[in-house]
């Protein structure tokens, strides 16, 4: 509603186009404006490692730091889909909020929704940093290209795209492509993970002594689940036919 009201007041002139990959502002920079997404998508990133905390789309807003005097940007904002964004100065926003109660209420509601999403992801990060369970170094397995016996037939069904992937290696890494380093996991989930919540090397399926095992890789963010139960990082869990694997929000069925 506030988006429509602002446009009706002639603020369309304030709309700026941003290309995918653009950074609107970085954490720590001066932040004196409020932004409403008219088209496209952005992601909210935290820290130097650029941990994705939320993906926002048309009708969402960011830049609420501008409501506090001399406030620095709390996050980095990156465009992940060509976008058109309405930019409003602090003084203009305050004036609109004073004149229109509906705008104020809508902003409070959307702010609550966004903060809940960010809080959930931050809590997940904090839990991992405090209580990570790692495989002792002597037990760590090296990345291998060793092939499975041709008689062993196992598949993954990625539910979002209905894509079927046959497992062909002793160790299979699941994750998202890293365009910076060139790393491509064995099962590349980049297209299915539009929100970019899945880590580059998120989890691994290993075959040993006639059984398949699932484990979460060190550094993975937002969790790995087996039939709804969250995995401890670095611990191997035996897989059975029809098990449901969930990487963050992406459901995958294991067939064996």
Give phi and psi for 5, each to the nearest 5. -65, -40
Mean pLDDT on 102-120: 67
- The pLDDT assigned to 66 comes to 64
Mean pLDDT on 76-98: 85
> pLDDT per residue over 15-60, tens digit each?
899 999 999 998 888 888 888 899 999 988 877 677 777 788 888 8
Q: Specify whether the CB–CB gap between 201 and 175 falls below 8 A.
A: yes
Task: Grade residue 130 by pLDDT with cuts at 50, 70 and 90.
Answer: very low
Q: Quick one: what percent of the chain has pLDDT higher than 70?
A: 77
- Mean pLDDT estimate for the chain: 80
> pLDDT per residue over 162-210, tens digit each?
899 999 999 999 999 887 777 899 999 999 988 888 998 999 999 999 9
Residue 132, pLDDT > 70, answer no
pTM here? 0.47
Mean pLDDT on 220-237: 92
- The pLDDT assigned to 121 comes to 60
Query: Domains plus CATH for the chain?
Result: 2-125 (2.60.120.10), 141-255 (2.60.200.20)
Q: Which of the pair, 126 or 108, is modelled with greater confidence? A: 108
Mean pLDDT on 221-234: 91
Taking alpha carbons only, the member of 97, 94, 44 closest to residue 74 is: 44
- The pLDDT assigned to 18 comes to 94
Residue 135, pLDDT > 50, answer no
């Amino acid at each position: 509603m506030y988006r429509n009201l602002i446009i009706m007041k002639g603020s369309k002139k304030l709309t700026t186009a941003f290309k995918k990959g653009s950074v609107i502002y970085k954490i720590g920079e001066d932040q004196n404006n409020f932004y409403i997404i008219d088209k496209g998508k952005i992601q909210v990133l935290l820290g130097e490692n650029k941990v994705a905390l939320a993906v926002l789309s048309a009708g969402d807003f960011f830049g609420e730091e501008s409501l506090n005097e001399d406030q620095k940007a709390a996050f980095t904002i990156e465009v992940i889909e060509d976008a058109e964004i309405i930019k409003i100065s602090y003084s203009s926003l305050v004036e609109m909020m004073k004149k229109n109660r509906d705008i104020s209420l809508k902003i409070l509601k959307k702010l609550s929704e966004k903060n809940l999403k960010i809080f959930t992801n931050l809590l997940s990060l904090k839990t991992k940093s405090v209580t990570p369970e790692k495989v002792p170094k002597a037990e760590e397995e090296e990345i291998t290209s060793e092939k499975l016996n041709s008689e062993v037939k196992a598949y993954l069904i990625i539910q979002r795209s209905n894509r079927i992937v046959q497992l062909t290696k002793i160790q299979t890494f699941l994750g998202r492509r890293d365009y910076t380093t060139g790393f491509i996991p064995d099962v590349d989930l980049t297209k299915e993970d539009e929100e970019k919540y899945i880590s580059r090397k998120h989890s691994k399926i290993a075959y040993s002594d006639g059984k398949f095992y699932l484990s979460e890789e060190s550094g993975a963010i937002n969790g790995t689940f087996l039939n709804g139960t969250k995995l401890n990082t670095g611990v191997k869990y035996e897989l059975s036919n029809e098990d449901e694997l969930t990487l963050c929000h992406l459901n995958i069925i294991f067939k064996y």
